[in-house]
A and B are shown apart, each in its own frame.
Chain A
Amino acid sequence: MDNVFVYCEIEEGQVAEVSLELLSKGRSLADRLGCSLEAAVIGAGLKGIEKQIFPYGADVIHIADDKRLYPYQTLPHSAILNGLFREEKPRIGLLGATSVGRDLAPRIASALKCGLTADCTALEIGDHTENKTGKEYRDLLYQIRPAFGGNIIATIINPETRPQLATVREGVMKKEICAQDCKGRVKTIDSDKWLGDDDFVVKIIERHIEQSKVNIKSAGIIVAGGYGVGSKENFRHLYDLAGVLGGEVAGSRAAVDGGFIEHERQVGQTGVTVRPRLYIACGISGQIQHRAGMDQSSIIISINNDPDAPINQIADYTIIGDLTDIIPKMIKYYQKNTK
């Protein structure tokens, strides 16, 4: 009872990155609260899966292993997780803000009538006093997330209901292997007691999951474009620069919405959070929702026609001008000075 749970997502026998990141965060929350960190793994062919999870600090791993449980489906996974949560009564439940986590978490919240906060960018433990009643709450989970298109940051709490549920996007928390001697217990979930035939009425007919080709999260150099790039064709300049510097190309939400670049390259609150050593922002005005996903970059260069673009406030270098003129010059002088 009263422990911290992380739902671990499985794809092709691998625990998802975001789940490992959440285990690391869960470990620090559990340490702060003096409780245990428990992982829930639901899937098929999971023999040995604990070896991927224990290094991230789980004390207990609950495993439901059944060939009907992979690939992920809403009804069987929610039946099992609901059952497990009803028995274990966790204090906190964390899920990745992924296609799976965002499908599953609201189902759980609705069934257990508990609060859920989507896409948290920070999780902390703290106290709360209710203004009206003066009632005090100890050690609540502060679920911190952008709201209103990223223009404000809200701290959400669930004073009365348990578990306190939150989802977090990949790349927001840092994955950390804890001390070598991390080793816990494995518990088998008796999933049959929660599953019925009704949970398998949806049939998966076909499935194409691409291994992520791009990995902007771990790129050291990112050349990103916004709406100001103007067209998909103009993004060619960004690819040229990234190619020469050995970096990846990314885009803002506006560039993705404009069809200039694919969603998996989106940086920002509704995309990926990145921390490269160099971030070159081309034609990006710097809406808050974008800045929040890249402001921890070591060096930021902004290339923009508009000297007043908000991005310039957080840039180390601001180049005023047109990217179709500036980028070729950058390539030219990079090549000249590295030869």
Chain B
Amino acid sequence: MKGLKIIVLAKQVPDTRNVGRDAMKADGTVNRAALPAIFNPEDLNALELALRIKDTNEGTTVTVLTMGPGRAAEIIREAMYRGADKGVLLTDKKFAGSDTLATSYALSLAVKKLAPYDLVIAGRQAIDGDTAQVGPQVAEKLGLPQVTYAEEILSVRKGRVTIKRRLERGVETVEAPMPLVLTVHSSAPACRSRNARYTIKYRHARTLGELQDTSEDYLQLRKDRPYLTIDEWGVSDVGADVDQLGLSGSPTKVRKIENVVFTGRDSKVISGSENDIEALMKELIDSHTIG
């Protein structure tokens, strides 16, 4: 069969998983500089599912679409090093401050511009918000069915995909027609590492925004090798209505941000000695906490 056209939605996120003690500033705001920017983990699972389909379906192309600031092009290159064919960076000041609804509006327009396509695959959720909303919201805007929490693609045949889903308390196997939006669960296979050949091939891939200070030589190289161009689209490229973007296009507003405050308790520090542990266990038994 002819290959598929797959779009992977990915996000560059601050690494909130291992937040150190310097991650919060004294005024209670987040110290973004202390958190490295990474490829959102479940988006890597999504990329792997796309690449596996590409491995087994000749002629398949994988395009990575991300929305974010200029430096988000880093994750597009990272995806290319692992086997993606091309990338689009959706970037514009007018996108800033978008909540999930406005983000899904912008992404859905970019997906439409990339049509025709067979599959849109995204990670289930991004670790900076953990909302899991953007995938289904994009599906709704595209008028497509969705299969969330995908763990494995069992088959791709005659325009239909069979997918194993990971639910909270079980698994489900579903069959759905393409085009289709998939979101991928962290239990799906981990993403392959960089391929040496692709890493060399794409290491000079750049967006227009990244080319500001490059030399003439490089511009010529780019002309000869069109695969080094990462497309960069703004509001006008996707024909977005500005009122549906950014803060004004976001129905959710942040009213207040607070530091998390826990009520401290009078903590009794005890050693691990036989006597101390026995005294503790006796105390817990006497108070009927245990026993």
Contacts and interface: CB of A to CB of B under 8 A. Distances in A.
B147 to A, nearest CB: 7
A128 B137 CA distance: 27
A186 interface: no
Interface stretch (B60-68, B191-199, B225-233, B262-270): B262-270
A118 B101 contact: no
Interface stretch (A23-31, A58-66, A86-94, A331-339): A331-339
A143 B251 CA distance: 13
A315 B282 CA distance: 18
Contacts of A75: 145
Contact of B281 (A114, A148, A330): A330
Contacts of A319: 269-272, 276-277, 280
Given A107-B139, A206-B172, A319-B271, A149 B127 contact: yes
Interface stretch (B71-79, B85-93, B162-170): B162-170
B269 A333 contact: no
B21 to A, nearest CB: 9
Contacts of A188: none
A291 B257 contact: no
Chain B residues touching A, range: 35 or more
B252 A334 contact: no
A47 interface: no
Contacts, number: 252
Given A156-B253, A157-B253, A292-B260, A209 B169 contact: yes
A317 B101 contact: no
B97 interface: no
Interface in A107-138: 107, 109-111, 113-119, 128
A141 B101 CA distance: 18
Contacts of B24: 151-152
A314 B264 contact: yes
A81 to B, nearest CB: 12
Interface in B104-144: 104, 127-141
Contacts of A329: 272, 274, 277-278
A288 B267 CA distance: 18
Contacts of A151: 16, 19, 23-24, 30, 260
Nearest to B167: A99
B267 A113 contact: no
Nearest to B32: A148
Contacts of A337: 278, 281-282, 285, 291
B contacts with A: majority SS? mixed
Contact of A264 (B168, B266, B271): B168
A contacts with B: majority SS? mixed
A46 interface: no
B98 interface: no
Interface stretch (B4-12, B174-182, B200-208, B212-220): B174-182
B40 interface: no
Interface stretch (A32-40, A175-183, A231-239, A320-328): A320-328
A307 B282 contact: no
A153 to B, nearest CB: 5
B140 A106 contact: yes
Given A102-B132, A114-B251, A156-B252, A321 B140 contact: no
Contact of B252 (A116, A204, A207, A298): A116
Nearest to B268: A317
Contacts of A264: 168-169
A279 to B, nearest CB: 11
Interface in A49-87: 71, 74-75, 78
A153 B268 CA distance: 29
A197 interface: no
Contacts of A160: 251
Contact of B168 (A99, A128, A336): A99
B147 A202 contact: yes
A171 to B, nearest CB: 13
Contacts of A107: 136-137, 139-140, 146
Contacts of B171: 207-208
A147 B126 CA distance: 12
A218 interface: no
B28 interface: yes
B161 to A, nearest CB: 10
B101 A334 contact: no
Contacts of A159: 253
Contacts of B289: 277-278, 298-299
Contacts of A320: 269-272
Contacts of B265: 300, 313-316
Nearest to A212: B169
Given A299-B284, A334-B291, A336-B278, 7 more contacts: A106-B136, A291-B262, A295-B262, A315-B265, A321-B272, A329-B278, A337-B278
19 contacts: A98-B168, A99-B167, A102-B132, A102-B148, A106-B104, A110-B104, A118-B132, A143-B252, A148-B30, A149-B128, A152-B24, A153-B258, A157-B252, A277-B289, A295-B263, A312-B267, A317-B267, A317-B268, A322-B272
Interface of A: 71, 74-75, 78, 98-99, 102-107, 109-111, 113-119, 128, 142-143, 146-161, 201-212, 221, 245, 257, 264, 270, 277-278, 287-288, 291-292, 295, 298-301, 307, 312-322, 325-326, 329-330, 333-334, 336-338
